[in-house]
């Protein structure tokens, strides 16, 4: 308790900054409703309500986005998480949150140097042959420097901002408390499931703060692409096995004597200098995906780049179950030979075998106009028994039917998925976090493909892989493998059954069995009944006091006060106090 109190006192300054930004962008009423003003006043912090700006020219989504940018990295990340929640928010909010970027002014080198010495074990000029102290890029969580190793390899050094973990921990602490309060008090907020979103944000941020986690993700994805081929490229065993993790940079191609470089490039991680706060990886010298005019000048084939990028991401999603969850143009480079490099694996999505199976059936249902297949998958995602399944089924069937007869080349898979998610939102169906990341990746990928090639057709790229994966799923070996796993689980359950029955019987012999049933909202109903009973008892006592005091007033004799019988006067005073309490209690409960 003492530690929590001290921590809360330490974080009050950060709460004051957040509340001030909210007031500045016209959310003063929200500050009051969430109780932030009272909390800060008790802590001796004064809010300046006059700071509110004239925001008539801004839409509500734009105001929230601007406030998130001013409140710092945690809220920028919160906006980016919300931009993936197509199952919760309207398209105008999704589009506005999609504008949030992690750009931030760089931290001065003299503030970064002590932390780097601590993490590297020596000053950078002793570890690297050369080190440029001017950042290549600066984001809200980290900034990146260019360096060269003693063996000549060009690398980038990603450094976490000093003190950023304390700021993020404070933000997450207050966000979790505010989300719980908002969900408990407001039906409108409850429909957005704020505690679920904050939990997703917390998990994502804590993973992103640890660069070893990002590095492991990069190596796993590189390993999955070791033997990756397409119609234009067939790697030889020697080309694959020469480099750990299957990662090349263009400068290393000749030195490694590889007959053909890989078409998907993942930066190599230098683990000897990588830790929680520092990541050293290969420098990718390619054309940023945003600079399409440079792609044309370099003679690269846009159609091949679009197809290879789509196939690579589809492989990550459908085949591997580990995918880059943020494939925006800033994280993609184009290399000579129409090759593609992915960087920044701080945000990845993970799909288990069951989820991938659901995804395959959903996408096949969409591209083959099989409404029943789509309905079955959405119902598997539905955990709320209050959903009207017949209405949901009818709406999904109508949605799929509108695409019937549309040529495959005209289907926009990303747009269809985004539109489909509007239906679960209307029924308050909350999608699993891995699925919303996947849908966001699909939408980003399709947009990137169309920027490269206006004729890019995501459905045509997707259908062969889906059919191949469905065929692989029902091969005898795959069926036997799943059956063996199911049989193993069944035998394990049966093997433990005698022990479970024995424990149950021993418990029954020692004492009577008790069955605990939790009924949703029963505690709240019980509290309301208890409060009503208390008010009823007070009302009866007040009525008894009034009647009794009236009788006493008519009885002559006894002590008096101001010419009135003392005991009758005391009774009336007690009845008045009880009446006032009863009235206040009723008003506080919201009853008239």
Q: Which two tokens stand for residue 2?
A: 């003492």
Question: Is-contact 253 285, C-beta < 8 A?
Answer: no
Beta bridge mates, 147 = 131, 155
User: How many angstroms separate the CA atoms of 532 and 536, rounded?
Assistant: 6
Residue 283 burial by Cβ neighbours in a 10 Å radius (0-12, 13-18, 19+): buried
Say whether 259 sits in a helix, a strand or coil.
coil
DSSP state of 337: T
Q: What is the dihedral of CA 491, 496, 502, 506, to 10 degrees?
A: -150
Q: How far is CA 564 from the centre of its chain?
A: 71
Residue bearing tokens 């069926």: 479
User: How many angstroms separate the CA atoms of 136 and 167, rounded?
Assistant: 24
Beta-strand ranges (E) seen in 247-382 are: 264-265, 278-282, 287-288, 322-324, 332-335, 339-342, 348-350
527 catalytic residue (yes or no): no
User: How many angstroms separate the CA atoms of 491 and 496, rounded?
Assistant: 9
Q: Which two tokens stand for residue 379?
A: 């119902």
Residue tagged active-site, from 153, 252, 326, 457: 326
DSSP string, 147-188: EE-TTS-EEEEEEEPTTHHHHHHHHHHHHHHHHHHHHHH-HH
Q: 515 — phi, psi (to 5°)?
A: -110, 120
Burial 190-226 (b: 16+ CB within 10 A, else e): eebbbbebbebbbebbeebbbbebbbbbbbebbbbbb
| Number of Cβ within a 10 Å radius of residue 519 | 8
Q: 393 — phi, psi (to 5°)?
A: -60, -45
Question: Is-contact 23 31, C-beta < 8 A?
Answer: yes
DSSP string, 7-36: HHHHTHHHHHHHHHHHHHTT-HHHHHHTTH
Angle at 254 between CA 250 and CA 258, to 5 degrees: 95
Question: Is-contact 259 239, C-beta < 8 A?
Answer: yes
Which positions are annotated as active-site residues? Answer: 326
């Amino acid at each position: 308790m003492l530690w929590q109190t001290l921590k809360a006192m330490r974080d009050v300054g950060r709460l004051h900054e957040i509340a001030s930004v909210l007031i500045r962008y016209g959310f003063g009423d929200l500050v009051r409703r969430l109780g932030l003003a009272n909390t800060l006043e008790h802590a001796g912090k004064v809010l300046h309500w006059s700071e509110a700006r004239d925001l008539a020219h801004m839409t509500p989504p734009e105001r929230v986005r601007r406030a998130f940018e001013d409140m710092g990295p945690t809220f920028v990340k919160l906006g980016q998480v919300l931009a993936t929640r197509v199952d919760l928010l309207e398209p105008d909010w999704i589009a506005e949150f999609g504008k949030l970027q992690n750009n931030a002014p760089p931290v001065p080198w003299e503030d970064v140097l002590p932390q780097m010495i601590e993490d590297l074990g020596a000053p950078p000029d002793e570890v690297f042959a050369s080190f440029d102290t001017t950042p290549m890029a600066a984001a809200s969580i980290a900034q990146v420097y260019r360096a060269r190793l003693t063996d000549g390899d060009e690398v980038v050094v990603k450094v976490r901002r000093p003190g950023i973990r304390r700021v993020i921990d404070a933000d997450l602490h207050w966000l979790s408390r505010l989300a719980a309060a908002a969900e408990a008090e407001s039906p409108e907020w409850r429909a957005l499931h704020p505690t679920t979103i904050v939990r997703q944000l917390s998990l994502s941020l804590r993973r992103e703060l640890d660069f070893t986690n990002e590095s492991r993700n990069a190596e796993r994805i590189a390993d999955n692409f070791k033997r990756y081929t397409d119609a234009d490229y067939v790697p030889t065993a020697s080309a694959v096995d020469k480099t750990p993790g299957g990662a090349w940079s263009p400068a290393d191609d000749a030195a490694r004597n590889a007959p053909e470089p890989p078409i998907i490039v993942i930066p190599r991680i230098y683990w000897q200098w990588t830790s929680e706060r520092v990541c050293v990886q290969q420098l990718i010298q390619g054309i940023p995906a945003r600079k399409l005019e440079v792609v044309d000048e370099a003679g690269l084939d846009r159609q091949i780049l679009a197809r290879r990028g789509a196939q690579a991401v589809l492989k990550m999603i459908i085949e591997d179950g580990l995918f880059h969850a943020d494939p925006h143009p800033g994280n993609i480079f184009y290399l000579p030979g129409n090759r593609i490099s992915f960087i920044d694996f701080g945000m990845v999505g993970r799909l288990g075998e069951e989820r991938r199976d659901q995804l395959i059936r959903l996408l096949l249902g969409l591209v083959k106009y099989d409404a029943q297949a789509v309905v079955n998958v959405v119902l598997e995602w539905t955990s709320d028994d209050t959903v009207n399944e017949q209405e949901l089924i009818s709406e999904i069937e109508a949605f799929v039917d509108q695409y019937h007869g549309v040529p495959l080349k005209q289907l926009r898979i990303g747009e269809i998925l985004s539109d489909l998610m509007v239906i679960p939102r209307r029924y308050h169906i909350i999608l699993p976090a891995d699925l919303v990341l996947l849908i966001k990746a699909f939408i980003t990928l399709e947009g990137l493909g169309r920027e490269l090639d206006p004729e890019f057709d995501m459905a045509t790229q997707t259908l062969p892989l889906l059919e191949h994966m469905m065929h692989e799923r029902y091969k005898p070996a795959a069926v036997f493998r799943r059956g063996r796993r199911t049989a193993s689980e069944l035998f394990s359950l049966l093997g433990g059954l005698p022990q479970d029955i024995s424990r149950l019987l021993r418990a029954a012999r020692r004492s009577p069995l008790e069955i605990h049933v939790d009924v949703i909202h029963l505690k709240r109903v019980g509290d309301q009944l208890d409060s009503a009973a208390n008010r009823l008892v007070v009302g009866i006592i007040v009525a008894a006091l009034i009647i009794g005091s009236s009788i006493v007033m008519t009885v002559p004799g006894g002590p008096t006060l101001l010419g009135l019988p003392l005991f009758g006067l005391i009774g009336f005073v007690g009845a008045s106090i009880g009446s006032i309490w009863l009235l206040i209690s009723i008003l506080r409960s919201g009853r008239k």
